[in-house]
Amino acid sequence: MTAQSSTYRPRRFRLKWRHLTFSRFMLYLLLTLLVVIAGLPLFAMVCRSLMPLDELYIYPPRLIVHRPTLRNFSDLLTSLSSSTVPFTRYIFNSLFTTVVTVLLSILVCCMGAYGLSKHHPAGSNAIFAVVLAALMFSTHVTQIPNYLVVNALGLVNTYLALIIPKIAVAYNFFLVKQFCDQLPDSILEAARIDGAKEFRVFWTIAMPLLKPAWTTLAVFSFVSNWNDYFSPLIFISSNALKTMPLALQTLSGGAGVVARAGTVGAATFLTTVPCIVVFAIMRGKVMETMSFSGIKS
Amino acid sequence: MSASRKKGKKMGIDRKRSLEAYIFLIPWLIGIIVFFAYPIFTSVRLSFSKITSFKGLITEWVGLTNYEYIFFYDINFVPTFLKVVTDTLLNTPLCIVFSLVIAILINRKMVGRGFFRTAFFIPVLLGSGYIMKQLLGMGVDGTTITTGIMVPKLIADLLGTSITTVVQSFLDRITVVLWKSGVQIVLFLAGLQGISGSLYEAARVDGATEWEMFWKITLPMITPIILMNVVYTIVAFFTDGTNPMVDYIYKMNFTNQMYENAAAMSWVYFVFALILCMTAILLMRRHVYDSGTKN
């Protein structure tokens, strides 16, 4: 329980502004500069969604919008309303597949990681080696054989094609396993002595203790699944089943199309909003997890 | 598992635990076998063969022909590959040093610590694939978003073109690195939290300066995290969606439909990433501080 105790580390002294010395001032200046750079992508994205077309193609490229306009958004709405599938359908598709994927992935990966970390089954080293190797593979690389598998299972053009292949993810497994290793065995042992069945131990003891791990995972997983553009592009051809990022990109003409470059900006911005919302909600939890209990290997 | 049936209730505790573990692992294992292991082996097979029929994926063994093709006939593969390799070799150390410095800075007690920690994490949210790709390549004729904003015109005129180009490309690189080091910063923060305060206390009593404490305490204590971050960074750069090599393999697959060559490319690429990670681990292992706790 080192994680818990360090969370409640008492503050040794209170900070006040009068401690502001020259070196501290320089520190703030440097950090602010770095934060500005780090925030640049977000800022640029918002600006580009507000830029009129002529400003988008000006040279040298502009970062800050001079004459903001909502034209891009209204253009996007127009092209959306002209499509045969209502826009809400895309939102539903995206939300449904993402949420189901995230929930199932968390459950399956936590179960697996718990089994591997706390039971040390025969062959656990081999399994862990597979996980480490899998971390290094980009999903794009195995996309063709993956398509063949999904096709053979008859999942092409169904929601399941967007969900099932993304449940057993090596990265999620790795993250939960690192946390699971830090759980003291004694707590689990105590529950077992009290007569709890193994699944009950997992569900009522291990899962609550692993909460920081899987809330973090939920955010990561949500962001990556929501933004996933490749799997719907490959597995889905029916318009009614497209997810939001794909639908928005195809409707607005995709990257590189000059006439609708503004709408692409607006579409990109809209796609990111849910991720930012999810992160804002879970922010405290994620930062706490990542910086206190640590993913220490 | 067949042995457990025979022994019945006398099943050893180890075997029982093992069996339980596999019940927990089964859903995940099925997933990883069907959607990772099998595709991987198919892709190995593909890289050494030629598809004769797509129905049932009937292939014919052709040995190293595909590898020969990508190295000697494909004009784009080798330059792209080399570019990615040099980029990774340059960016990884930069990324590690940068994120370590930032982590140490925001690990101090200061006003707005929470804000800074969150702010450095934001690019991670956008950085997953498509959106970042659009942002990086959104200017006209491939100019990046960073161009034209980092070096003000006045300074550029004073310095002359050649120096400005160098400075500019350096700044571009720094910016991209900073956008990609959100996770590393957080991991370093976790590592810094783990260093016992009493070490610093003792050093301070002995009259050590901040600078000495960094080299003698912080750096040695944080070596395990550095190693982990090096591996993580290499993997992240290699599998990134904005990576030209990944892009090229994708194009090879879906635009050119040369599946066998694409498979060969991804294997050359993967094996190289693996070698790089292994080298990093071997080089650094001797210097990694071992606290004696076993994982």
Does the domain formed by A6-10+71-293 have CATH 1.10.3720.10?
yes
Mean pLDDT over B185-209 rounds to 84
Task: For chain A, positions 218-247, list CB contacts with chain B under 8 A.
Answer: 223-224, 227-230, 234, 245
Can you tell me the distance from the alpha carbon of A233 to that of A143, in angstroms, rounded to the nearest whole number? 11
Percent residues over pLDDT 90 in chain B = 2
Task: For chain A, positions 112-151, list CB contacts with chain B under 8 A.
Answer: 112, 114-116, 118-122, 124, 127, 130, 133-146, 148-149
Q: Are B241 and B133 in contact (CB under 8 A)?
A: yes
Look at A246-255, B44-53, B124-133, B174-183 and tell me which has the smallest mean pLDDT: B124-133
* Contact: A115, B25; criterion CB under 8 Å: yes
Can you tell me the distance from the alpha carbon of B289 to that of B220, in angstroms, rounded to the nearest whole number? 6
Report the run of H or E that residue B74 belongs to, with start and end. Answer: none
B152 pLDDT band, cuts 50/70/90, is low
Long-range contacts of B83-87 (CB under 8 A, 24+ apart): B83/B244, B83/B245, B84/B237, B84/B238, B84/B243, B84/B244, B84/B245, B85/B272, B87/B237
Query: Which of B24, B120, B239 is closest, CB to CB, to A115?
Result: B24
Can you tell me the distance from the alpha carbon of A128 to that of B295, in angstroms, rounded to the nearest whole number? 13
DSSP chain A: -HHHHHHTPPPSS---GGG--HHHHHHHHHHHHHHHHHHHHHHHHHHHHH--HHHHT-SSPPSS-SS--SHHHHHHHHHHHTSSS-HHHHHHHHHHHHHHHHHHHHHHHHHHHHHHHHH--TTHHHHHHHHHHHHT--TTTTHHHHHHHHHHTT-TTSHHHHHGGGTS-HHHHHHHHHHHTTS-HHHHHHHHHTT--HHHIIIIIIHHHTHHHHHHHHHHHHHHHHH--HHHHHH---GGG--HHHHHHHHTT-TT-STTHHHHHHHHHHHHHHHHHHHHHHHHHHHHIIIII----
Residue ranges per structural domain of chain B: 1-47, 67-127+180-285
Can you tell me the distance from the alpha carbon of A46 to that of A49, in angstroms, rounded to the nearest whole number? 5
**Higher-confidence residue: B245 or A16?**
B245
pLDDT tens digits, B80-121: 888 888 888 888 998 999 899 988 888 877 777 778 877 887
| Residues ≥6 apart with Cβ < 8 Å to A115 | A121, B20, B21, B22, B23, B24, B25
* Contact: B175, A141; criterion CB under 8 Å: no
Query: Which of B29, B116, B194 is closest, CB to CB, to A35?
Result: B116
Q: Are A228 and A163 in contact (CB under 8 A)?
A: no
Query: Whole-model pTM?
Result: 0.76
Can you tell me the distance from the alpha carbon of A243 to that of B290, in angstroms, rounded to the nearest whole number? 47
CA A271 to chain centre: 13
Nearest by Cα to B235 from B185, B183, B186: B183
Look at A34-48, B140-154, B190-204 and tell me which has the smallest mean pLDDT: B140-154
Closest-CA residue of chain A to B116: A35
Which CATH homologous superfamily contains domain B67-127+180-285? Answer: MetI-like (1.10.3720.10)
Closest-CA residue of chain A to B136: A41
Q: Are A179 and A210 in contact (CB under 8 A)?
A: yes
Secondary structure of residue B139 in the 3-state scheme: coil
Closest-CA residue of chain A to B140: A57
Query: For testing the chain B interface, which of A17, A34, A141 should be mutated: the one with the most B CBs within 10 Å?
Result: A141
> What do you get for the CA distance between the two ends of chain A, in Å?
16
**Higher-confidence residue: A260 or B144?**
A260
B103 touches A: beta carbon within 8 Å: no
Closest-CA residue of chain A to B149: A63
CA B15 to chain centre: 37
| Residues ≥6 apart with Cβ < 8 Å to B280 | B227, B230, B231, B234
Can you tell me the distance from the alpha carbon of A6 to that of B182, in angstroms, rounded to the nearest whole number? 22
Can you tell me the distance from the alpha carbon of B56 to that of B108, in angstroms, rounded to the nearest whole number? 60
Say if residue B257 is exposed, middle or buried (CB neighbours under 10 Å; 0-12, 13-18, 19+).
Answer: exposed
- Please give chain A's pLDDT, 297 residues, in tens: 344 444 445 455 555 555 567 777 888 888 888 888 777 777 777 877 787 777 766 665 566 777 777 877 887 777 777 667 777 788 889 999 999 999 999 999 999 999 988 888 888 888 888 887 787 776 666 777 888 888 888 888 889 988 998 888 888 888 788 778 777 888 888 888 888 888 888 998 888 888 877 887 888 888 888 877 778 888 888 888 888 877 776 766 555 555 566 777 777 788 788 888 888 787 777 666 655 444 433
Say if residue B229 is exposed, middle or buried (CB neighbours under 10 Å; 0-12, 13-18, 19+).
Answer: buried
Can you tell me the distance from the alpha carbon of B198 to that of B200, in angstroms, rounded to the nearest whole number? 5
